[in-house]
Amino acid sequence: MDFAHLITYRQSIRRYSDRLVESEKLDRLVEAVRLAPSACNAQPWTLLLVDEPSLRTEVAKATFSKALSFNRFALQAPLLAVLVLEPPPLTVRLGALVKGREFPLIDIGIAAAQLCLQAAELGLGSCMLGWFDERKVKRLLNIPHRRRIGLVITLGYAAPDYPDRSKQRKPTAAMSGRNDYRNKAG
């Protein structure tokens, strides 16, 4: 699949079939994250793939509550990826302080995008979740207290009847410009 088609094709999937993700595809997902660029090549993440059924169910339950049930679909995903932020080296921390930027957050965003694009290229669906009970997920996965979880990502084969949706995006002129911010139309 060429890149232009891939970024058009990839969409957030919120309904999964019960088909398991093959181990060779898991290896390709891990490699996509391993090769992601990062500030000073810090690679400030640990990727945890959760596919053991009872543990996966418990982690999925930590992504919603009775009051906020919009991530309930995570229960259907046969695979969850958890991106844990790791402390970057001193050079990255100093650069972040001087520039007022959260480089590790940018870096895991890049890693997550590569994971989701690799998943799409492999015929898998994905959905990035920023809403979850971090304390519960950390306890379930034995993540050290001082670490933060950046994202939980659902992965798997889309339900057979899952609709292809056209992407709703801002017009090009409303989100881009050339040479001068004032040239931005929107």
pLDDT in tens, 106-124: 999 999 999 999 999 999 9
pLDDT of residue 185: 62
pLDDT of residue 158: 97
User: For the whole model, what pTM was predicted?
Assistant: 0.93
- Token pair listed for 175: 């989100």
Cβ atoms < 10 Å from Cβ of 144: 8
Question: Domains, the chain, ranges and CATH?
Answer: 3-183 (3.40.109.10)
| Contact criterion met (CB below 8 Å) for 131 and 16 | no
Residue 186 has pLDDT above 70, yes or no: no
More confident residue, 156 or 186: 156
- Token pair listed for 85: 């932020």
pLDDT of residue 180: 86
Quick one: how far is CA 179 from the chain centroid?
A: 31
The neighbouring-strand residues paired with 125 are: 156
Instruction: Determine the average pLDDT of the residues in 166-181.
Output: 86
